[in-house]
Amino acid sequence: MKTAPSLDELVEMVRAGAKYQAIHPDLVRRVTEQELSKGRGLKDTVKAARSKLHQMGGAYMDTSIDYAQWTKELRDLPADLSAQAVREVCLRWMRSHASTRERLPFLEDFFRQTLGPLGPLRSVYDYACGLNPLCLPWLPLAPGAAYHACDIYADQIGFLNEFFAHFRLSGSANLCDLTAAVPDTPVQVGLLLKTIPCLEQFDKTAGARLLAAIPAEHLLVSFPARSLGGRSKGMVDNYEAHFEDLIAGQNWRVQRYEFPTELAFLISR
């Protein structure tokens, strides 16, 4: 009689897909275990786990990125974040990730309006960062400011550390699973951009838990105002109501900002 595959074997089956090999292995395991507990068959469990991982991050990764080629280009750039050549390359790279691509038409206004009044920023932690650290040339940072970042994709994190090293930045990028633990580095500003809806695909309590646990004086939280297909579908009203639920009972100061494809809130505490 054929025995059912173990959780370890199922995890390896999920990770066998090219799109899932670079994802934090602990997250793959936890998602696979959750789907396995629903009593599905082998193929359906693997399919459901991959679908959940896609919802949590893969949906924004809609193009294949050659990080080795990017690293070669990076090494030819001047080590000056304000250089025009650096800005041009960062803008091109950011088009490879749907989240940052959506922000490009109002990139300068986004950070000037939300973070400008707090600057020059001394320290930042970019949670579930995607390619957002490539926005560094547009951030109001103080000289020598520390910039930390984390995400679930190992290849992305490797490239971001090359990026930080090239520009001699203080800080680092780290592999992390925010559904399991929050980095404990205290910072002036935390960035949680379009992240809560992704994490809540796995854990409905993730949003409230993160807002309470992130050790930042100020926390810039945002939600998509349109779907990846470009439809609004009442998303601003829905996410604003959800955000109000997440912060209910907290004595925090909150400022609201609305942009064409993004709804943002700056929490100060």
The 10s digit of each residue's pLDDT in 27-44 is 999 999 999 998 888 889
Structure tokens at 225: 């105002």
Residue linked to tokens 């105002």: 225
The band of 89, judged by pLDDT with boundaries at 50, 70 and 90, is very high
The structural domains of the chain, ordered by start, are: 7-56 (1.10.8), 67-268 (3.40.50.150)
Q: What is the pTM of this model?
A: 0.92
Q: Measured between alpha carbons, how far is 159 from 148 in angstroms, rounded to an integer?
A: 14
Pick from 185, 103, 121: which is nearest to 149 by CA?
185
205-230: string of b/e by CB count within 10 Å (b at 16+)? ebbbebbeebebebbbbbbbbbeeee
pLDDT in tens, 170-195: 999 999 999 999 999 999 999 999 99
